[in-house]
Amino acid sequence: MIIVHKYGGSSVATTDKIIEIAKYLGEVKDQGHDVIVVVSAMGKRTDALISLAKEITKDPDKRELDRLMSTGEQTTIALLAIALKSLGYDAISLTGVQAGIKTSGFHTKNVIDSVDNNKINDLLKEGKIVIVAGFQGVNSRGDVTTLGRGGSDTSAVALAAALDARCEIYTDVDGIYSIDPRVYKEAKKLPLISYDEMMELAYLGAGVMEPRAVELGKKYGVEIYVGKSLGEKNGTIICAEEKCMEKKLITGISINENTAMVNIENIPTYAKNVYIVFNSAEKNGVNIDMISQNDVTASHGSMAFTCPKTDETALERTITEIKEALPDIKPEINKDVVKISLVGIGMISNIGIASRVFKILAENSISFHQVSTSEISISLIINGEDKEKVAVLLSKEFEI
Ligand code: ADP
Ligand code: ASP
Ligand code: MG
């Protein structure tokens, strides 16, 4: 059996941790499995690399930023290969390019198009433990690319799909909880979660899994095990809905702190002006999430939208551009907000969830800025300072 293991940043933060992982991988190999290991950059190394570039300029060139960020994972693969070899195991480290991971899209936000599994298959046949740098690939121009933050999960699932392998993701929590256990200590660990619910939680901000990894898992039928301790098997399996026996109304809550809200007041109410705003946002690469508009009948109206806080530079360019086109508008960026979302397949067939959410907010005098819904989720934009209170209240109300 081929097994893909993936170790995130905190799991490989020190050389001691890398040695522990090497010992464990050796045991798995000795049990007769073929082993592929995907690793992230050590600890917060990716953040440190981005900060270095930002010491030079606020808006670093994205092709070169990809080159820079990809070095984080390359350090880890080499160290893990050194550790395995020092223990007497035959191991080889591969960059994303060497592992045949082909990507397309924009630098820093690439998607995996295909994985050429020939080389890895040959190396496995030679009995080697294959160590692959996560988060990176190569585009059609031969440039190094990265897959968006948290993208090593995606590398692991893509490799598991390409090699028909089992996929095990090891991180600093022992499974997927109904809500981030750092925010709500009484959160429950889920033995199983459906692809759709995990995808929705991840897209809405639950940082434990990269959403595109879950999407790939669903597309190629790769079950994803998420856990912590080496050797223990009490984590969470992300799998098809039919396997998830316990049908709860709400499966989980995600909290997305990477949220900024832009209020624009005093816009003359013509559709053309709304187009100016969103066209400029799109050109500058601002990823718009929620949109709301007020007073559409008045001569001037106001609107608001949310986007990732990390799109800040692009957002500032957008604001400058739209102020030039519409000099009388009053835009304001609010970075002190979070998005909190309830997710559950049970929402499809049950009504009254929204009213329970608003009752809780009303009873506790909590204000919100925006609301949006999908078939299986409700999201609210609230003030950052209310984050924990709302998370606990909603967790208790829906017994998650
Ligand atoms: P890695 O570096 O291993 O990829 P991440 O930091 O990306 O790890 O993801 C693990 C973190 O995700 C945990 O430390 C936890 O705080 C956070 N997290 C957010 N939501 C959840 C959730 N629903 N269940 C478990 N962990 C969660
Ligand atoms: N090192 C990358 C990041 O920090 C990719 C990953 O950890 O998955 O985003
Ligand atoms: Mg991660």
Residues annotated as binding site for substrate?
Answer: 46, 73
Query: Is the CB of 41 inside a 6 Å radius of any atom of ligand 2?
Result: yes
Residue 296: its pLDDT value, please? Answer: 63
Asked whether residue 16 is assigned to any structural domain, the reply reads yes
33 falls within a domain:
yes
Q: What is the pLDDT of residue 350?
A: 82
Tell whether ligand 2 has an atom less than 6 A from the beta carbon of residue 149. yes
Q: Is 240 contained in some domain?
A: no
- The pair of three-digit structure tokens given for residue 186, joined into one six-digit string: 């009484």
Ligand 3 centroid–CA 51 distance in Å is: 19
Only one residue has tokens 């970075």, namely: 335
Residue 147, domain member (yes or no): yes
Ligand 2 pocket member 9 (CB < 6 A): yes
Give φ, ψ of 270 to 5 degrees: -125, 140
Q: Please check whether residue 371 lies inside any domain of the structure.
A: no
138 strand-pairing partners: 102, 144
Strand boundaries in 90-230, DSSP class E: 91-94, 101-106, 109-115, 129-133, 136-138, 144-146, 166-170, 192-194, 224-227
pLDDT score of 156: 98
* pLDDT given at position 270: 79
Q: What is the pLDDT of residue 269?
A: 80
Atom number of ligand 2 nearest to Cα 73: 1
CB of 171 shorter than 6 A to ligand 2: no
Residue with tokens 């790769």: 222
Nearest ligand 2 atom to the CA of 41 is 1
95 located within any domain: yes
Domain holding 80, by residue range, is: 2-172
Consecutive 10-residue averages of pLDDT for the chain (400 residues): 97 97 97 98 98 95 98 98 98 98 96 97 98 98 97 98 98 96 93 96 96 97 93 92 82 96 90 92 93 78 93 93 94 96 90 93 96 94 97 94
For ligand 1, atom 7: residue with the closest CA: 208
In a domain, 74, yes or no: yes
Evaluate whether 187 touches 180 at the Cβ level (below 8 Å).
yes
Distance CA 36, CA 335 (A): 41
Distance CA 20, CA 18 (A): 5
- What is the Cα–Cα distance from 355 to 188, expressed in whole angstroms? 24
Q: How far is the CA of 210 from the centre of ligand 1 (A)?
A: 10
- Split into its structural domains, the chain has a count of 1
- Residue 91 is part of a domain; what is its CATH number? 3.40.1160.10
| Number of continuous H segments (helices) and E segments (strands) in the chain | 11, 20
Ligand 2 close to Cβ of residue 398 (< 6 A): no
Tell me, yes or no, whether 202 lies in a domain: no
Integer Cα distance of 342 and 255 in angstroms = 9
Q: Which residues contact 239 (CB under 8 A, 6 or more apart)?
A: 192, 193, 194, 195, 223, 224
User: Would you say the pTM of this structure is higher than 0.85?
Assistant: yes
> Hey, what amino acid is at 98?
Q
- Name the H helices within 118-270: 118-125, 152-163, 195-203, 211-220
